[in-house]
Amino acid sequence: MFFYYLDLAWRSIKKTPFLSLLMVLAISIGIGITITTLNIYQMASINPAGERSSKLFEVRLWSQGLDTWSRLNQQITYQDGFNLRKSPVPVRQTPMFMTGFAVQTDDPEFTPVLENARVTDRDFFGLFSVPFLYGGAWDKQVDSEPAYQVVISEELNKQVFAGENSVGNTLYLNRKPYQVVGVTKTWNPSPKYYDVNNGAFNDAEKIFVPYSLAPTEEYQSWGNNQSWRNEPMDTYAQRLASEAHWNQYWVELDNPEQIRAYEEWLANYIEQQKLLGRFEMPDAKAEIADVAQWLKVNKVVPEDNKILVGLSALFLIVCLVNMLGLLLAKFLKRAPEIGVRRAIGASQSQIFSQHMVEVGLIGFCGGVLGLLWAWGSLSLLSAHFELEDALTQLGYSMWVLAPSIAIIAALLAGIYPAWRICSTNPSVHLKSQ
Amino acid sequence: MLQIKPILSTLMRNKSGPILLLIQIILSVSIVANASFIISERIDLMSRDSGLAESEVFDFRVYNFNPETDYGAQNGRDMTTLRNLPGVIGATSTSMTPLSGGGWMSVFTLGESEETAKETEGAAIYYGDEQMLKTLGVKLIAGRNFFEEEILQGSPNQANLGIVSQAFAKATWGDEPAVGQVFYAADFGQEPVEIIGVVETLQGAWVNNSSLENSVILNVELAFPFTKFLVRAEEGTLAQLKEAIPAALHRDNRERVVSGFKLISEHRKSAYRNHELMATVLSMMVILLLLITSLGLAGMVMFNIERRTKQIGTRRALGAKKRDIISFFLVENYIICLAGGVIGALVAVQLGQQLMSLYSLPQLELIYPLVTVAGLIVLTTIAVIVPARKAARISPAIATRSV
């Protein structure tokens, strides 16, 4: 029966090509716009931590003085970063910040390149599940007893060591020799959730060096540095002892008990720091946010995207109303024909389902065409605005979503016209013929 | 004469079609009004003048990675090298680049005494030398530029002379002349800076910051491993200077990385990218929406004409002119449009309120729904008049033939 209806639908579409084309156009444009905005929105709001999202927490501390910042800062100070490492509660934890180096090799012909780097602890790689191609992270010991060891990315390894297993080789960072202990497999979470301060869709760093080297090597901060008071920062020692916020801190907590225990530990830490004259605010507090909350706090999905999705949903409704009107026109025009069919025995429900199949077919065509529009507009947008590929790739889910939304929307729009046509009295039309 | 009464009764006889059209117009008006409001707001943002010769000025970074480098002396030599390159109009070291999305910003302290001290608005801080104004291409409107011998080297907190943007001068000292005023770069009484000049326009680095127009130039050549340079060169010479500059700088000292050449006009493009994207997608939406609405309307009218062929023929037989038939359809359209427009405008204002309370959008101005309704009336007239003319050509004979 379904295929018979499909055949009928196709004939009916051919009979009124202009009206049918208008309907397919209307619904496809609606779908095209909706899928375009939805795709950008969805790609920006992906939670790259996946199932580990609820176990990883970013730590923020209210360390500012009275009458200064009125909100928790996204970052913490170096001294807090250094102290928090002493907590026994988290499964894994790491402070970190961004720096960068001029990279050289043993080859004197190699032109130095400038690369961003992350200063962090060994736990970084476990926390964020960084996959390794060769070797691995430096030893736990290095976090307390500094050693010149480095982990580099697959990409940099290709550039510098021609992609060979470079573990044990020497890499010069700002002229200092470092021993390569690991090469990570391509790893580029988007959004770059572990540090969104300098662009949530930037690439991950290609170089990782131990946090414990910071005091001796005086790594400059290449990220954001925020101060709530004036204090001398001419030397690196002053910077380390300052109240400036330029470090990030992540912990892994596996269960609610651990979360509670850690929050308690942080509260104690603040009390203890208060005795030392820091954390002047009476209601100074610590807050931890898991990855999903963290992305929200940082407004990783721009408000503009939400407005666009909202407006395009309304747009789709306009397209549907439009289609509803056209369907009504088309079906009512066919009323005499339906009158005959009813008279020779077609039941109301048969007429109804016949029309719904026709509407569904139109919806499907609209959905497929809409997907094409979306693909076209996304490519245009990404070419014109040099957007991150991560944002403008048509997600796989959209290939299913677009035709589904289109068919469902079309069926919704088709219910009333199909009901109107199947409930008309056949005698009226028979009489006039 | 407009035969509103018979038209109304026609509309009432067959309600579903007109009601659908009404809903469509209401929704269209509310979407188009809000979208075009957002578009025009973004265009206003994007058209703010940076005060610079944007297509002539570019920036780049030098990273001296040998810690034994005397950064101050090195920068001095680099600047001389740059200024002697063919095609270069001006060059200076700087702490930041306008519109680049990264840089220095701070508040300053004002006042006569510790008790009355207060903070200024935030301002972007450019540390540079006497060639900064020439390099940026900004216009000095009061006071004077730095003299060469007034430029200090090294740490930023030794600055003692400043040139401010007009917007910052106005926000800080109102109508008083800014030249000769003093503010403190740290707490009250510490690191005093005397204002010696005012430039017409100089923007900071963050285009979404409310104090974008506030800028201060201070008389220090920074001496850090990282140095940013601004160069102004004849238009179109960047491609060639991109090669010439690293070569010239490496001749002096090989232990550095020279990278990141970018014109201010490119910085502008990236800075406003999100706004431009929003405006583009919304414009696309508005155009398509109007297209769909008018196509749908044309389709409906065509269908109505086919259904009413007999009536039209009869009316023509009874003496109605072609003009009367066209005006019948037009008036029918205007009735729906006006009703939809009024309700749509109300919905648009409501939607605007919602958007304003949920997101950081300004309040919708009433002119937008009004213009939208006017535009819709024009557009639908075209959409109706084409099929209506066809209807007017229906010969009276057709109506009588099949009876």
Contact B27 A36 (CB under 8 A): no
d(Cα A293, Cα A53) in Å, to the nearest integer? 9
Burial class (CB in 10 A: 0-12, 13-18, 19+), B127: buried
Residue B399 has pLDDT above 70, yes or no: no
Contact B67 A113 (CB under 8 A): no
Q: Using alpha carbons, select from A410, A406, A407 the residue that is nearest to residue A323.
A: A410
Q: How many CB pairs below 8 Å do chains A and B form together?
A: 135
Residue B403 has pLDDT above 50, yes or no: no
Q: Is A149 helix (H, G, I), strand (E, B) or coil?
A: strand
Write out chain B residues lying below 8 Å of A377, CB-based: 284
Write out chain B residues lying below 8 Å of A317, CB-based: 27
d(Cα A95, Cα A85) in Å, to the nearest integer? 8
Contact B299 A19 (CB under 8 A): yes
Place of tokens 């033939």: B401
Please, are residues A58 and A250 in contact by the beta-carbon 8 Å criterion? yes
- The values of phi and psi at residue A64, to 5°, are -70, 160
Distances in whole angstroms, Cα of residue B298 to Cα of each of A24, A145, A184, B321: 15, 78, 61, 22
Please, are residues A29 and A371 in contact by the beta-carbon 8 Å criterion? no
Percent of chain B whose predicted confidence (pLDDT) is above 70: 98
d(Cα B11, Cα B335) in Å, to the nearest integer? 10
Distances in whole angstroms, Cα of residue A191 to Cα of each of A43, A101, A156, A301: 9, 24, 21, 10
To the nearest whole Å, the CA of B294 is away from the closest chain A CA by 10
Contact A315 B299 (CB under 8 A): no
The string of pLDDT tens digits covering residues A354-371 is: 899 999 999 999 999 999
Number of H helices, E strands in chain A: 15, 11
To the nearest whole Å, the CA of B124 is away from the closest chain A CA by 15
Chunked into runs of 10 residues, chain A (433 residues) has average pLDDT values of: 84 84 90 90 81 92 85 92 94 94 87 91 94 94 95 94 92 93 91 85 91 93 84 87 93 94 95 90 89 87 86 90 87 83 86 91 93 90 74 79 91 91 78 57
Return the amino acid letter for B383: A
To the nearest whole Å, the CA of B140 is away from the closest chain A CA by 31
To the nearest whole Å, the CA of A325 is away from the closest chain B CA by 6
Quote the tokens at residue A209: 């060096």
Name every residue whose Cβ is closer than 8 Å to that of residue A346 and which is 6 or more positions away in sequence. none
To the nearest whole Å, the CA of B56 is away from the closest chain A CA by 22
**Preceding omega of A191 cis (within 30 degrees of 0):** yes
Average pLDDT, integer, range B322-351: 89
Write out chain B residues lying below 8 Å of A198, CB-based: 102
d(Cα B387, Cα B295) in Å, to the nearest integer? 11
Write out chain B residues lying below 8 Å of A26, CB-based: 292, 295-296
pLDDT of residue A431: 67
The residue that leads in pLDDT, A126 or B306, is A126
Contact A311 B67 (CB under 8 A): no
Place of tokens 């390099």: B135
Q: How many CB atoms lie within 10 A of CB B321?
A: 11
The string of pLDDT tens digits covering residues A118-166 is: 999 999 999 999 999 999 999 999 999 999 999 999 999 999 999 999 9
Quick one: closest CA in A to B103, which residue? Answer: A224
* B402 pLDDT tier (thresholds 50, 70, 90): low
Q: A18-22, A409-413, B298-302, B306-310: which has the highest mean pLDDT?
A: A409-413
Write out chain B residues lying below 8 Å of A113, CB-based: 257
pLDDT of residue B225: 86
d(Cα B262, Cα B274) in Å, to the nearest integer? 19
Query: Which of A268-272, B170-174, B275-279, B294-298 comes out lowest in average pLDDT?
Result: B294-298
pLDDT of residue A389: 67
Q: Where are the domains of chain A?
A: 2-47+302-430, 63-284
Write out chain A residues lying below 8 Å of B17, CB-based: 325, 328-329
What is this structure's pTM?
Answer: 0.82
Q: Which of B65, B284, B303 sits opposite A333 (nearest CB)?
A: B303
Complex ipTM? 0.82
Distances in whole angstroms, Cα of residue A271 to Cα of each of A80, A249, A255, A260, A284: 13, 19, 25, 17, 9
A232 alpha carbon, distance to own chain's centre: 39
Quote the tokens at residue A347: 């039941």
Please, are residues B384 and B298 in contact by the beta-carbon 8 Å criterion? yes
Q: Is B374 helix (H, G, I), strand (E, B) or coil?
A: helix
